[in-house]
């Protein structure tokens, strides 16, 4: 995917809001926790202080990661995409060749993936197996338990 994170406008806005919340509220809460722990005395044996500093490190790491994702993001307009092949933002209905069961997924960027909402990452094994396929094609998905075969039944963008 050439180093870019392809996002929907909704996904981009959600990540931007999460980043702003972490930079403001998140940093304030961590600073408050560090200050409270510092007031309790000797820092060399203060578990609360260590925990607060660890939380600060994790928060800053997440902020840094989100900033990188947003800096390398490209917002996709679904109206400009081609529905003849599976791409990012495609809704694809697939049929398991072994069981005959049909499933419908939307292919999204890694940061927007949510299996509960039937959104899978284009970087996942399933996403990689489906990308570029057309209706009627056979997608082979490599898994630790062997290859799974799916027939592409339908592709849509809405």
Percent of the chain with pLDDT over 90: 47
pLDDT in tens, 24-35: 999 999 999 989
- Please check whether residue 94 is in contact with residue 130, taking contact to mean a CB–CB distance below 8 angstroms: yes
Q: Could you give all domains of the chain from N- to C-terminal order, each with its CATH number?
A: 5-75 (1.10.287.180), 78-156 (3.10.50.30)
**Does the pLDDT of residue 2 top 70, yes or no?**
no
Which residue has tokens 């284009």? 122
Q: What is the mean pLDDT of residues 76-105?
A: 86
pLDDT of 137 > 60? The answer is: yes
* CA–CA separation, 24 and 97 (whole Å): 50
Is the pLDDT score of 1 beyond 50? no
Position 106 scores a pLDDT of 92
> pLDDT (tens digit, 9 = 90+) per residue, 63-89?
999 999 889 888 877 667 777 888 888
Q: Quick one: pLDDT at residue 9?
A: 83
Asked if residue 158 has pLDDT above 80, the reply is no
pLDDT at residue 7 above 60? yes
Query: Which pLDDT score, from 0 to 100, does residue 46 have?
Result: 79
Q: Exposed, middle or buried by CB within 10 Å (0-12, 13-18, 19+), for 101?
A: exposed
């Amino acid at each position: 995917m050439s180093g870019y994170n392809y996002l929907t406008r909704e996904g981009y806005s959600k990540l931007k809001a999460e980043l702003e919340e972490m930079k403001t509220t998140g940093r304030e809460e961590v600073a408050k926790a560090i200050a409270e722990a510092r007031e309790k005395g000797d820092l060399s044996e203060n578990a609360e202080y260590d925990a607060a500093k660890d939380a600060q490190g994790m928060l800053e790491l997440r902020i840094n990661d989100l900033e990188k994702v947003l800096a390398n993001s490209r917002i996709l307009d679904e109206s400009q995409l081609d529905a003849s092949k599976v791409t990012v933002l495609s809704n694809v209905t697939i049929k398991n060749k072994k069981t005959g069961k049909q499933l419908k997924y939307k292919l999204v960027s890694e940061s927007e993936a949510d299996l509960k909402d039937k959104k899978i990452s284009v970087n996942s094994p399933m996403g990689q197996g489906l990308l570029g396929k057309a209706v009627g094609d056979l997608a082979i998905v490599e898994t630790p338990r062997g290859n799974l075969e799916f027939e592409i039944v339908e592709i849509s963008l809405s």
